């Protein structure tokens, strides 16, 4: 199904080249005033066309709210329906790809699964679907900040083999690869700050399990880790355990945060730290071997407006999914 969350549930719809994408955010408490301009800004942040490192497609991406709030943005406790019209979607660009499976894309698997597919730009599998998640996530993030003081820090921390540079270094690396007609992977790192201890359920809805599911549902995500992550496999217990102490005011404090803010599926009051690995954009301007839907061998070169590093724009989506997951689990906590 096309839903995320149990207490705060976002259901999305929409193909990249149909009339609109959109969604329903169900479960928002009443009496909270949504800053709709801030939601629009979050949506702008994931928009392509903002920098040379991003694709040139000019999506205006205006969110229209259809329900769930009074005219001043105050929530009614009822589901929030919204749509984002698809304006600039030159389907003609995709006509050449109509009968061919792009390597690294979902063209083949959709064809097998559904027998029919929307060949215009990826259809439902397009990253355009994530625009709806950004809208839902921005609302969740506002609510978390105002009601609980929970905030999110999310950023691109690696592009290809460049890990230690500045943001400009990462952007330069993307541009460098784009010039070669190729694309490149990257890593998005996130922190959830201000979470109280006690959030997350112990077996079926562990905080890290729900966060992993949310992140791995993002297009092109290949890996998820929290706390020490894969490095923990190389460490001993005495290295990866976080000792505890009592501070001057009698409050329990952790001496380190190897655990990434979660123990036994439940937050311990430290920042939740995590990382998500993204593969390179599969659309590249270099020739690749592929197959047509009538079973013939083809060579394909994917031209058009594509991000050279999907991880860059994924930052906004990662943060949105973190906010939706956190809000959902906070609501589950009684």
**Residues in region 6-65 near a second copy by CB under 8 A:** 6, 9, 11-15, 18-24, 26-27, 29-31, 64-65
97 touches a second copy (CB under 8 A): no
Q: HSE (CB half, 13 Å, CA atoms) of 287?
A: 3
Written as six digits, the tokens of 317 are: 């989506």
Candidate residues 51, 58, 60, 74; the one interacting with a second copy per rule CB under 8 A: 74
d(CA 77, CA 224): 33
One-character DSSP codes across 285-318:
SS-EEEEBTTS-EEEE---SS--S-HHHHHHHHH
Q: How many residues does the chain have?
A: 334
Q: Which C-beta is closer to a second copy: that of 164 or that of 289?
A: 289
Binding-site size, a second copy (CB under 8 A):
145
**Residues in region 154-173 near a second copy by CB under 8 A:** 158, 160-161
Do residues 308 and 236 lie in contact, with contact meaning Cβ atoms separated by under 8 Å?
no
d(CA 226, CA 292): 40
Exposed e or buried b for every residue in 298-316, given b needs 16+ CB within 10 A? eebebeeebbbbbbbbbbb
Q: Which C-beta is closer to a second copy: that of 142 or that of 325?
A: 325
Candidate residues 114, 147, 169, 301; the one interacting with a second copy per rule CB under 8 A: 114
- The stretch near a second copy (CB under 8 A) out of 55-63, 164-172, 220-228, 312-320 is 220-228
Candidate residues 73, 229, 271, 304; the one interacting with a second copy per rule CB under 8 A: 229
State residue 244 phi and psi, 5-degree precision.
-125, 155
**Residues in region 241-270 near a second copy by CB under 8 A:** 241-246, 250, 252, 255, 258-260, 262-269
**Residues in region 169-208 near a second copy by CB under 8 A:** 177, 182-187, 197-198, 201-206, 208
**Residues in region 136-155 near a second copy by CB under 8 A:** none
Do residues 280 and 173 lie in contact, with contact meaning Cβ atoms separated by under 8 Å?
no
To a second copy, the closest distance from the beta carbon of 242 in angstroms equals 6
Q: Which C-beta is closer to a second copy: that of 57 or that of 102?
A: 102
- The stretch near a second copy (CB under 8 A) out of 37-45, 46-54, 79-87, 141-149 is 79-87
228 touches a second copy (CB under 8 A): yes
Do residues 115 and 108 lie in contact, with contact meaning Cβ atoms separated by under 8 Å?
no
């Amino acid at each position: 199904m096309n839903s995320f969350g149990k207490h705060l549930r976002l259901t999305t719809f929409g193909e990249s080249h149909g009339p609109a994408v959109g969604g329903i955010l169900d479960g928002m408490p009443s009496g909270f005033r949504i800053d709709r301009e801030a939601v629009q800004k979050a949506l702008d942040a994931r928009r392509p066309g903002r920098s040379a490192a991003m694709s040139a497609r000019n999506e205006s991406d205006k969110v229209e709210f259809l329900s769930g709030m009074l005219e001043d943005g105050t929530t009614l406790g009822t589901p929030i329906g919204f749509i984002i019209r698809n304006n600039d979607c030159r389907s003609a660009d995709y006509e050449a790809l109509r009968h061919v499976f792009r390597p690294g894309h979902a063209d083949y698997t959709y064809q097998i699964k559904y027998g029919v597919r929307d060949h215009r730009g990826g259809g439902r599998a397009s990253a355009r679907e994530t625009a709806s998640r950004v809208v839902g996530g921005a609302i969740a993030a506002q609510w978390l900040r105002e009601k609980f003081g929970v905030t999110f820090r999310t950023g691109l921390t690696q592009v290809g083999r460049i890990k230690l540079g500045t943001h400009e270094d990462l952007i330069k690396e993307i541009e460098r690869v784009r010039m070669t007609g190729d694309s490149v992977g990257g890593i998005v790192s996130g922190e959830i700050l201000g979470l109280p201890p006690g959030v997350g359920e112990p077996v079926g809805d562990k905080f890290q399990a729900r966060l992993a599911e949310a992140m791995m549902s993002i297009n092109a995500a290949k890996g998820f880790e929290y706390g020490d992550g894969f490095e923990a496999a190389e460490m001993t217990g005495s290295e990866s355990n976080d000792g505890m102490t009592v501070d001057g005011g009698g409050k329990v404090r952790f001496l380190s945060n190897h655990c990434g803010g979660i123990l036994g599926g439940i937050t311990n009051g430290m920042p939740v730290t995590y990382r998500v690995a993204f593969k390179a954009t599969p659309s590249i301007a270099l020739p690749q071997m592929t197959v047509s839907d009538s079973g013939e061998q083809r060579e394909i070169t994917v031209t058009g407006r594509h991000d050279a590093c999907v991880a860059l724009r994924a930052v906004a989506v990662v943060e949105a999914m973190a906010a939706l997951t956190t809000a959902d689990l906070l609501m589950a906590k009684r």
